[in-house]
């Protein structure tokens, strides 16, 4: 899949992504009202890392409800809306509108955006996180998923998984970009993006270890009925294999689209298929979530006694 927000602002971009035969689904981040997003420059990348503070630029709910009815997709492709939680208070009836559009296959509740000034990441406030999740599930008739920020402590994974296991959600997406990062241009002695005084979310290959850890931590804690979509640091087929080995059932690609364009989907798919063939796996379930652990080695005895 594409990562929500990447190459999907317009109906034309959404269709371009769907036209990639190697793609299984398209996800689009949106808010109720249209947003221009944060001031530019708001995105920067090199071959190893990207930093962004996009601020959820999008055309608003009504635009994407219409776009969903116009796009052409294969029977085995999915289209879903990733709805940002920043202005949902009192507006949960928007999910009733989404319910009526047959071509929208699922809804993702995005409670993890790190790039909105004066809007803290909701998924770090667990009581608010649970309240908003329950409110959406009460009204949505579509499959529901949750887009999560990165977590870093075992206690956080325990607490979030306990909440998720209590509710009939279908999937999680992990991770959103790592928040509150800073990239410096040494020539100009300046930040490389404008919003939030130059602070933004980090993506690209640099974040893959954090992504793999979050996938695996949730794989060990979540009920099997909750699928995990891995998102972060995918450049090639090996990265896809690692995501699935750690527990993902699907993957999203973001920064690599900016680096390479939509052709990256087919290349990565081919590379991944070669790895699966070489390992003689016939289906994803043969290796999904089956990450092995290195056994502890015996402590070597000292050569001399003092």
Given 113, 231, 246, 264, the catalytic residue: 113
Please tell me the distance from the alpha carbon of residue 124 to that of residue 2, in angstroms, as a whole number.
24
Q: Which helix (H) or strand (E) holds 192?
A: none
Alpha helices in 4-140 (DSSP H): 11-18, 61-70, 94-99, 126-139
Question: Which of 264, 210, 266, 201 is CA-nearest to residue 242?
Answer: 210
Contact 221, 157 (CB under 8 A): yes
Three-state DSSP state, 278: helix
Query: Would residue 113 show up in a list of annotated catalytic residues for this protein?
Result: yes
Structure tokens that stand for 43 in this block = 């995105």
18 contact partners, CB below 8 Å, separation of at least 6: 26, 71, 72, 73, 74, 77, 79
- Residues involved in catalysis: 113
């Amino acid at each position: 899949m594409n990562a929500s927000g990447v190459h999907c602002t317009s109906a034309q971009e959404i269709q371009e992504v769907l036209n990639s035969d190697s793609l299984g689904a398209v996800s689009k981040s949106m808010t109720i009202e249209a947003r221009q997003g944060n001031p530019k420059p708001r995105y920067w990348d090199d071959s190893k890392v990207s930093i962004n503070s996009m601020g959820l630029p999008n055309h608003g709910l009504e635009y994407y409800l219409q776009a969903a009815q116009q796009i052409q997709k294969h029977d085995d492709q999915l289209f879903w809306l990733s709805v940002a939680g920043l202005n949902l208070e009192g507006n949960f009836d928007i999910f009733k509108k989404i319910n009526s559009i047959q071509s929208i296959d699922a809804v993702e509740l995005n409670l993890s955006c790190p790039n909105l000034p004066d809007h803290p990441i909701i998924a770090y406030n667990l009581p608010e996180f649970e309240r908003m999740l329950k409110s959406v599930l009460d009204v949505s008739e579509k499959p529901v998923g949750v887009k999560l920020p990165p977590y870093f402590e075992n206690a956080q994974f325990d607490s979030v998984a306990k909440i998720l296991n209590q509710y009939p959600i279908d999937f999680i997406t992990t991770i959103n970009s790592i928040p509150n990062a800073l990239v410096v241009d040494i020539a100009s002695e300046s930040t490389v993006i404008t919003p939030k005084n130059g602070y933004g979310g980090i993506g690209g290959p640099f974040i893959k270890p954090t992504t793999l850890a979050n996938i695996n931590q949730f794989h060990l804690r979540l009920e099997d009925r909750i699928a995990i979509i891995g998102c972060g640091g995918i450049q090639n087929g090996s990265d896809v294999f690692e995501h699935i080995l750690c527990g993902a059932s699907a993957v999203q690609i973001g920064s690599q689209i900016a680096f390479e364009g939509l052709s990256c989907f087919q290349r990565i798919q081919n590379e991944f298929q070669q790895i699966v063939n070489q390992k003689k796996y016939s289906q994803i379930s043969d290796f999904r979530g089956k990450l092995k652990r290195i056994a502890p080695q015996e402590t070597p005895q000292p050569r001399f006694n003092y």
